[in-house]
Amino acid sequence: MKAYDVPPTPENYEIWYAQAAAASPALSQAMEAVFANGGAWSEAAAASLRERFFPPANDAESMLEIATGLGSSISSIQESVTQAGHHTRSYGKALEVVSGQMDRGVDSATLQAVARQLAAATQAMRSRAEILESRLNQASSEIDGLRSKVDAISQEARTDGLTALANRRHFDEKLADAFTTSEQICVIMGDVDHFKGFNDTWGHQAGDQVLRLVGACFRENIKGRDTAARYGGEEFAVILPDTTLRNARTLAEQIRTSVESKKVVKRSTGESLGSITISLGVATLRAGDSPDELVRRADACLYTAKRSGRNMVVSDEQLTVVKNSATAA
């Protein structure tokens, strides 16, 4: 940390300790990317790494609570099963006694006594079985409740709280999955135009309203196995498995026109804040690509769209044409 001039904060220590412990190869690669090409550590880089690789503290506390509850339920089941075993052995011994008595021959009075003894043992066994069933049902219900909590926490950990899209961590997971299941993948990167100016002029609440609106435009235009995510700040992304570049570009245009058609209204006063636009870049998988390289190329297309006037879509075959033209010149 000293060599890379990283401030010795608790948050930074947590990241670098995980790196030193080799806790996650993906974390190591992401940290290497921070310093690639002379890059430097920053608060933004640390925040991005924490969002991608470290669950919020409340998530960890919830998981500890769930683990404790699950351990208690399992202990209860084990205790009930153990008691059931003892009761079954006791019932078996009672049956052996009755069987022995029957083998020796019995008169009418003794037979009645044996029958009563057998009935009492059977009733006791039935009562114990009912208690066991009740305990098992209760434990099963508790485990179902814990499972629901796990599902809720898992969903929350994968979701951006403001836009309800996938968050950066889930985006990375889905892109890695796509690389193992799809031969053709496209990625769209989008960035809200002039967002900082909008925020500075109208305030962060209006800015949040814009991000929710843009998130809705992404969500409404994707389908099936597509994944739309808030990549960070005012930047959005879409993973399109088994999609051609042409179709991905068409989708990006749909998102662009959808955003452009929206009118932003200040909720407190009804005042119109005007329209917003978004610039988008589209890249398709090439031989030898890594997930980071595919995203980097989509990002390069995005910033070409920004430099070319904003509110447009640029795909990576356009970048290839530009590069080839420059080389020929």
Selected catalytic residue, list 32, 79, 234, 253: 234
Residues with Cβ within 8 Å of residue 117, at least 6 apart in sequence: 94, 97, 98
CA distances from 100 to 81, 106, 221 (A): 29, 10, 78
- The count of other CB atoms within 10 Å of the CB of residue 326 is 8
Nearest 10 degrees: CA dihedral of 200, 266, 309, 303?
A: 70
234 flagged as catalytic: yes
Structure tokens at 142: 């508790």
Residues with Cβ within 8 Å of residue 46, at least 6 apart in sequence: 11, 12, 15
Q: What positions carry a catalytic annotation?
A: 234
